[in-house]
Amino acid sequence: MRLDVRAYARPFKTPLQTHHGSWSVRRGLILRLESEAGISWGEVVPIAAFGTESYASALAFCQALPEQITRTEIQQVPATHPACQFGLEAAWETAQRSPLAPLKEGGNRTECGASLCSEVPLFKGDLGGSLPASILLPTGKAALNSPLLFSNQPRTYKWKIGVAPIQQELAVFEELVGLLPAGAKLRLDANGGLSWQNACSWLQLCDGYGIEFLEQPLPPDELALMLKLSQRYSTPIALDESVTSLAQLKACHAQGWRGLYVTKAPLAGSPVALREFCQAQALDLVWSSVFETNVARQYIENCLIKALPAVDRAVGFGIDHWFTDGWERYSPEQIWQRLNPMESLQHEAGAIGAFGIDH
Ligand SMILES: [Mg+2]
């Protein structure tokens, strides 16, 4: 199959503040596989702060792949490049199972018409997707003024904590809970940024408010302490940074974690192996975004989420309001047409490597 790669850079409307720091541009790669049967798509969306390869390293890896790629070469992507594993395997698997976008006579590309893109429903913006999505609020006090709060529909919101001093955050939290629409759910995400003491303070307060769950209170190497927290408080705890890769997810499961698992499929490595493990174990999963485009999201929804038993939990895909480019309305082919061919990116790859723009 013929492989083509194009890179994108999507600036956030305002930089996203997390315990890992400030993030202003989401960079990723779109993969296009073409065979006689048609076209399929994959997406490489690393987050180095979560332990995947860096964007620069994913770009260099994909640029070095042969133009004609085989199944064996795709299966041999090293574990050091989980985001590349995800993108390539997703594109390959889609090529095997879907009616693909046809090629025009003479091998030219065609707009993705009555093919993969119409078969797979597009997400219609952050609030109208085919799965209920949680809405990521701005970090800190800015959440209190977010227009997203003023809704009469019950929604699931997510708010980042572990960024400002705890007393300040606890006060904003209590104000935020008071502003939530009736029936709304709130989940908190500490990105591993709390101490034991602060995690206890948060959970004690959360228990009184019926918070949906607290995500990754402590750093990934403190699983034993998080197990203790999960026994001590009633607010459920979700592992996120602890279970980025499938290997980590399996390790936490083996060590007895039976709480929630946040699954960022594009960072986990082989999606086929991820699906097999999740099917074999009845895991309580929360699917979460890594600010990917519809390319990865369609694959996750159709080939991963729908392959597992349905759960009554919003998926963490409510992130489109963080961008202003309108890409949430585009099919993979439409995104592809907006990107420059790879040859013109050689120079940019060097620049990204030098600046280390990553998150
Ligand atoms: Mg998280």
User: 87 φ, ψ to 5°?
Assistant: -60, -45
The Å distance, Cα 159 to ligand 1 centre, comes to: 10
CATH 3.20.20.120 in the chain is located at 119-328
Please give the pLDDT value at position 240. 94
The Å distance, Cα 359 to ligand 1 centre, comes to: 13
Please give the pLDDT value at position 343. 61
Contacts 24+ apart (CB under 8 A), 272-279: 272/89, 272/93, 273/246, 274/246, 274/249, 274/304, 275/303, 275/304, 275/307, 275/308, 277/246, 277/249, 277/250, 278/304, 278/308, 279/307, 279/308
For domain 119-328, the CATH superfamily is Enolase-like C-terminal domain (3.20.20.120)
Please give the pLDDT value at position 108. 37
Please give the pLDDT value at position 132. 78
**Catalytic entry in 13, 104, 124, 160:** 160
Q: Is 158 a catalytic residue?
A: no
- CATH class (in words) of the domain with range 2-118+332-355: alpha beta
CA distance 336 to 8: 9
Q: What is the pLDDT of residues 123-151, one digit of tens each?
A: 333 333 457 788 889 889 999 999 888 87
CATH 3.30.390.10 in the chain is located at 2-118+332-355
Per-residue b or e along 250-279, where b marks 16 or more CB atoms closer than 10 Å to that residue's CB: eebbeeebebbbbbbbbbbbbbbebbebbe
The Å distance, Cα 210 to ligand 1 centre, comes to: 19
Residue 109: closest CA among 353, 356, 341: 341
**Catalytic entry in 124, 185, 264, 306:** 264
The Å distance, Cα 216 to ligand 1 centre, comes to: 7
The Å distance, Cα 240 to ligand 1 centre, comes to: 5
359 residues of the chain, pLDDT tens digit each: 999 999 999 999 999 887 778 899 999 999 999 988 889 999 999 999 889 999 999 999 999 999 999 999 999 999 999 999 999 999 999 998 756 665 544 333 333 322 333 333 333 333 334 577 888 898 899 999 998 888 777 789 999 999 999 999 999 999 999 999 888 999 999 999 999 999 999 999 999 999 999 999 999 999 999 999 999 999 999 999 999 999 999 999 999 999 999 999 999 999 999 999 999 998 989 998 899 999 999 999 999 999 998 877 888 777 778 899 999 899 999 999 999 987 655 544 444 433 333 33
DSSP designation for 141? G
Residue 316: closest CA among 178, 139, 168, 131: 131
Q: Is 185 a catalytic residue?
A: no
Please give the pLDDT value at position 127. 32
The Å distance, Cα 63 to ligand 1 centre, comes to: 30
Please give the pLDDT value at position 103. 55
Q: What is the pLDDT of residues 54-108, one digit of tens each?
A: 999 999 999 999 999 999 999 999 999 999 999 999 999 999 875 666 554 433 3
| Contact by Cβ (8 Å): 298, 107 | no
The Å distance, Cα 222 to ligand 1 centre, comes to: 16
Give this prediction's pTM.
Answer: 0.81
The Å distance, Cα 163 to ligand 1 centre, comes to: 13
